C-alpha cells in the first residue's frame, strides 16, 4: 500500500495502518515466551520472523506518512505532534523486534522457578499496550469530534489506565529482577545477562506504549 491510496483522507487512516503492524508485533510477544517455556525454538524463530516482517512494514508506512503529511493531508492537529506520535508509536514495534532478537540469540531455557513471574510480567507489559490500542481505536471518532467532547474524555480515561498499568509493570520488573539475580549460583552468567536484557527491553516496550498514550494526550490538549 502506498500513500497514493490515502490521498484526500484523514492522516489517521495511514496511522491506523501503521498501528495494525504494531499490534501484530505486540500480539506475538506472549506466544514467543510460550515457545521459550516449552522449548519450541523452531516455532520461536518463525514467530520472530513474523515480528521482523511486521516491523519492516511499519517502518515503510512510517516513511510514507512522513513524506506525505506536508502535502497530502489537512491536519486537525499540530503536524509536529502528529509526527512525534508516529515516531513513538513506531518505537513499540522496534521494542518488540529487539525482544525477538534477544530471545533467539540462543536456545534460552526459562528457569522453572521464575516461570510464573516471567509470564506475569509479560502480561503486565502487554496490558499497557492493549490500553494504548483501545485509545487509538478512538482516533476516527476523535477526528469527527474535533478532538473534544465525550470521546476525548473517554480516551483520557483509557490513557490513565495505561499509566497505571505501566506503573504495575515497573513493579513486576523489579520483583522479577530480584528473583533472577538471586539465582546467580544456579544459572549461567550469560543466561542471567540475557534474561536481564530481555526484562529491560520488555520494560522499554511498556514505556513506549505509555509514551504513545502521553503523546496522544498532548494532541488532545489535555
| Residue ranges making up the domain that contains 133 | 8-219
Query: Quick check: is 31 in a domain?
Result: yes
DSSP 133: H
Instruction: Give me 90's grid cell.
Output: 513506531
Distance from C-alpha of 99 to C-alpha of 36, rounded to nearest angstrom:
12
Query: Quick check: is 26 in a domain?
Result: yes
* Amino acid 76: pLDDT: 58
* Amino acid 181: pLDDT: 95
Query: Quick check: is 189 in a domain?
Result: yes
Distance from C-alpha of 91 to C-alpha of 98, rounded to nearest angstrom:
10
Query: Quick check: is 72 in a domain?
Result: yes
Mean pLDDT of 202-214: 95
55: CB partners within 8 A, 6+ apart: 21, 25, 93, 94, 96, 97
Query: Quick check: is 106 in a domain?
Result: yes
Query: Quick check: is 3 in a domain?
Result: no
Look-up of cell digits 469527527: 144
* Residue 54 · residue 25 · CB < 8 Å: yes
Q: What angle do CA 75, 81, 86 make, to 5 degrees?
A: 90
pTM of the model: 0.89
Number of domains forming the structure of the chain? 1
Mean of pLDDT over the chain: 87
* Amino acid 103: pLDDT: 97
Query: Quick check: is 103 in a domain?
Result: yes
Mean pLDDT of 79-90: 86
Residue 22: band (very low, low, confident or very high) from pLDDT cuts 50, 70, 90: very high
Query: Quick check: is 57 in a domain?
Result: yes
More confident of the two residues 142 and 213: 213
Asked if the model's pLDDT at residue 57 lies above 90, the reply is yes
Residue 66: band (very low, low, confident or very high) from pLDDT cuts 50, 70, 90: confident
Distance from C-alpha of 57 to C-alpha of 4, rounded to nearest angstrom:
16
* Amino acid 193: pLDDT: 95
132: CB partners within 8 A, 6+ apart: 92, 162, 209, 210, 212, 213
CATH code of residue 167 = 1.20.58.220
Asked if the model's pLDDT at residue 176 lies above 60, the reply is yes
Mean pLDDT of 197-222: 90
More confident of the two residues 152 and 60: 60
Residue 2: band (very low, low, confident or very high) from pLDDT cuts 50, 70, 90: very low
Amino acid at each position: 500500500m502506498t500513500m497514493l491510496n490515502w490521498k484526500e483522507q484523514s492522516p489517521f487512516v495511514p496511522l491506523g495502518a501503521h498501528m495494525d503492524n504494531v499490534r501484530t508485533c505486540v500480539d506475538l510477544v506472549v506466544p514467543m515466551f510460550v515457545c521459550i517455556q516449552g522449548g519450541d525454538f523452531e516455532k520461536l524463530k518463525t514467530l520472530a520472523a513474523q515480528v521482523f516482517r511486521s516491523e519492516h512494514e511499519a517502518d515503510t508506512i512510517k516513511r510514507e506518512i512522513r513524506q506525505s503529511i506536508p502535502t497530502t493531508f489537512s491536519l486537525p492537529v499540530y503536524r509536529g505532534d502528529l509526527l512525534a506520535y508516529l515516531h513513538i508509536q513506531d518505537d513499540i514495534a522496534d521494542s518488540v523486534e529487539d525482544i525477538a532478537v534477544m530471545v533467539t540469540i540462543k536456545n534460552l531455557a526459562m528457569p522453572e522457578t521464575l516461570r510464573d513471574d516471567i509470564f506475569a510480567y509479560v502480561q503486565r507489559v502487554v496490558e499497557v499496550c492493549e490500553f494504548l490500542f483501545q485509545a487509538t481505536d478512538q482516533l476516527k471518532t476523535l477526528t469527527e469530534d474535533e478532538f473534544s467532547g465525550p470521546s476525548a474524555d473517554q480516551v483520557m480515561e483509557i490513557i490513565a489506565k495505561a499509566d497505571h498499568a505501566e506503573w504495575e509493570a515497573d513493579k513486576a520488573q523489579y520483583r522479577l529482577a530480584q528473583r533472577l539475580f538471586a539465582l546467580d549460583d544456579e544459572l549461567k552468567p550469560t543466561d542471567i545477562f540475557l534474561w536481564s536484557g530481555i526484562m529491560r527491553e520488555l520494560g522499554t516496550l511498556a514505556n513506549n506504549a505509555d509514551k504513545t498514550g502521553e503523546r496522544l494526550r498532548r494532541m488532545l490538549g489535555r
